[in-house]
Chain A
Amino acid sequence: MTSEREAKTGAAEALLRAYQAQERRFVERRFPLQFEPEVPAIRELYSQAKVLRWNPETDIAWDRLDVGEYAPETREAARLTWSRRAWGAYPGLAESTALLVRLCLESGAVGMDAKLFLSFRPAEEAKHLETCYMLAERLGGYVPDPGDANVRDATNHPFAQAALDPDMPAEAFVAALGALDDQLDLNLVASHVQHAQSEVVRQALRLIAADKQRHVMFAWTFLGARLPRLGADGRNAVLAAVQNVLECVILAGYRNAWLLPLASREAWVQAEAETAKGGLGASTAAQEERVLRATVAQVRERLAAWDIALPSASHPELGTL
């Protein structure tokens, strides 16, 4: 126990020093500090975020969720599924915050629309996290630890540090995490909504999806405003980041239990299947595979509009994507 705590403390200090080193590599020029809209579409997304606010505690009809009507094995499966969703929502708190800090470090003169938008986003991610937690709790209890090293690794990536990396263009980070991963996440949530039968779960998923639509729209709009001005090195970095996240993060099971390492996936895949069968907010592996293939095709087509050619990715079970 003590050694585990010491290891955690050591990792925390190492990461803090890494953040510190990254922050020092930026030379912040705060003034002139411009607030005028420069990308009206992003300012509009910020305005929508202010208007479309919601509260997981009060805007979801929790009293209508009768968990007693589900079999114990369905409840157990759903609490695992929603716990895993919480682990997937949690990184958004730090990622969006790190990107906000990074854009501020880069310049006070540009990017206020994105900064204002990102000042809201961590709270929206926190609301999604709270919703997943509340669902897991009501279905039998949130599980705070995957209890399996493979699942821990697949769901824990240093994205916040990547956001603060001055060697990685902000466009590359937004393309990989916003245009690809957020897009996949949104499309998966849309699939879960289609297949959910519980009125309360559908309501929760719809509220989350509405926020995620803005997050995805932000990524594409941000890229639309910046990619055309990006030089060859920057565009290569965008391509490398997207390719890397696709091959090493998404295809390693970051969002989809059926892509987890073979030795670790069974319990999670079964839980997803049982949750889907019970209508409690999941899709089957086959449904998720269709979403993944469609998303990769969609992202590839959109990036091609900026002459960024995302190559095929291969996976031992999926073949070529």
Chain B
Amino acid sequence: MAEIRSGEAEMLTTDETSRHYVTEARYPLPLTPAMHEVWELWQRSKTLEWDPQTDIPWHELRPERYTPEQILAARMYWSRRTWGEYGAISESPALLLRFCLENRQPDLRFFFTMRTMEEGRHAEASWLMAERLGGYFAQPQNPPTAGAVGTHGVRRMAFDPDTSLEGVFASLVCAAEEILIDVFRATVDRATNPTVRRMMELILRDEVRHIAFGWQCLDAWAPSFTPATIRNIERAVATMIENVEFRGYRNLWLAVEGGDATPAEIDADRISCEAGLGGSTPEDEMRVFPDFLKKIRKRMAPWGVAIPLFDHPRLGRV
């Protein structure tokens, strides 16, 4: 970490060799808000903090009211949600590193710190739910399924100079998070368990800000999109749909090649949802997913972005 003038830095190691680091071009370091709406999201997120341990009515969960099949399904559903939320603390924070090194607007950097905090909270909340329903599952039942539910690849994208920041935003925030929240919105009313429902409401409240952040940034940057940026966005969104959503990252029922997941895992979302313990049914997915794609297609069209149609064995051509 002892710097040398060339802009590289070295750190002495035990074997007297040195490693070279690259120093970011940090200054000037503007901190004045530059994107009013994003700054407002940062301010708002500070006033809406909550604690999964104390702000959820755990005493109303009462798992003994449910059948063993329902409890197992709900434990599977909330365990998988935990794995998904973990992706938001292990992968997407890489975006903040990119904002810093690219000297992006201060609003982005401020807001994204809160986003990471909120995702940590969601991971803890989802884990607690699985635990208090009878036990969290630390891994999928069949190891190969880990590839489908383990990563959405955002960290790799964020560190890839050939993937534009706009592409990462569009795929993570406007695609992956948007569908998650559309399904949450469509099913929260069916979460009859008050503990589950309250948790879903609190998560939803945070996620709405995360999505607003993505759209606001892209709307603001859209006038400067080049044809290459637009292609990058199209490619990134298509990758997120085909290689992440259609592999079952969020819902294993959607997995085009679902051979690795067990029938119990595939059916978990439906059984849990029908029990009022959170999740979605295939009918929900059949309705929400095409609407979601229509929505983002329409929303991105003014930027010149054309999201293609996708073929899915259960959803059809969407």
CB-CB contacts below 8 Å: A75-112 with B: 86-87, 90, 93-94, 97-98, 100-101, 104-105, 108
Shortest distance from the beta carbon of A112 to any chain B beta carbon, whole Å: 9
Interface membership of chain B positions 137-178, coded 1 if the CB is closer than 8 angstroms to chain A and 0 otherwise: 011100100100011000110011100000000000000000
Given contacts A20-B159, A122-B116, contact A237 B14 (CB under 8 A): yes
Question: What's the interface size class on B, roughly?
Answer: 35 or more
**Secondary structure class of chain B's binding surface, majority of residues:** mixed
Q: For B31, give its contact among A51, A133, A248 (CB under 8 Å).
A: A133
For B27, give its contact among A47, A55, A57, A146 (CB under 8 Å): A146
Q: Is the CB of A126 within 8 A of B22?
A: no
Q: Is there an interface contact between A104 and B22, defined as CB atoms closer than 8 Å?
A: no
Q: Which residues of chain B have C-beta atoms less than 8 A from A182's C-beta?
A: none
Beyond A97-B97, A120-B120, A233-B14, is A20–B28 a contact (Cβ under 8 Å)? no
Task: Kindly state the separation between the CA atoms of A105 and B159 in the bound complex, as whole angstroms.
Answer: 14
Q: Which of A31, A51, A98, A165 contacts B19 (CB 8 A)?
A: A165
- Shortest C-beta distance, B144 to chain A (Å), equals 11
> Which residues of chain B come closer than 8 Å to A321, judged between CB atoms?
none
A161→B113 contact, CB < 8 A? no
A65 at the interface (CB under 8 A from B): no
What mask results when residues 1 to 15 of chain A are scored 1 for a CB within 8 Å of chain B, else 0? Answer: 000000110011111
A266 interface contact, C-beta 8 A: no
Query: When A35-B136, A97-B96, A122-B96 are in contact, do A11 and B14 touch as well, CB less than 8 Å?
Result: no
Task: Say yes or no: is A144 at the interface (Cβ < 8 Å to chain B).
Answer: yes
A123:B83 contact, CB within 8 angstroms: no
Count of chain A to chain B residue pairs whose CB atoms are closer than 8 Å in the complex: 221
> In the complex, which residues of chain A have a beta carbon less than 8 angstroms from the beta carbon of B97?
19, 94, 97-98, 101, 160
The answer, yes or no, to whether B260 is at the interface (CB within 8 Å) is no
**Interchain CB contact under 8 A, B13 and A167:** yes
B60-101 residues at the A interface, CB under 8 angstroms: 82-83, 86, 89-91, 93-94, 96-98, 100-101
**A101 CA to B88 CA in the complex, in Å?**
10
Stretch at the interface among B41-49, B210-218, B244-252, B261-269: B41-49
Contact in complex: A167, B19 (CB < 8 Å): yes
Q: Closest CB-CB distance, B113 to chain A, in whole Å?
A: 4
Q: Which of B12, B13, B21, B54 contacts A158 (CB 8 A)?
A: B21
A16-B19 contact, Cβ under 8 Å, with A142-B32, A156-B26 = no
Query: Is A66 engaged at the interface, CB distance under 8 Å to the other chain?
Result: no
Given A19-B97, A160-B97, residue A125 in contact with residue B1 (CB < 8 A): no
A226 at the interface (CB under 8 A from B): no
> Which of B3-11, B189-197, B221-229, B298-306 touches A?
B3-11
Q: Are A93 and B113 in contact (CB under 8 A)?
A: yes
Q: Please report the C-alpha to C-alpha distance between residue A167 and residue B12 in the assembled complex, in whole angstroms.
A: 12
Nearest first, the 8 closest Cβ-Cβ pairs linking A and B are: A119-B120, A248-B2, A104-B90, A236-B14, A32-B138, A158-B21, A31-B139, A145-B28
Binding site for B on A (CB under 8 A): 7-8, 11-20, 23, 28, 30-35, 47, 50-51, 53, 55, 57-58, 86-87, 90, 93-94, 97-98, 100-101, 104-105, 108, 115-116, 119-120, 122-123, 125-127, 129-130, 133, 142, 144-146, 152-153, 155-162, 165, 167-168, 176, 233, 236-237, 239-241, 243-245, 247-249
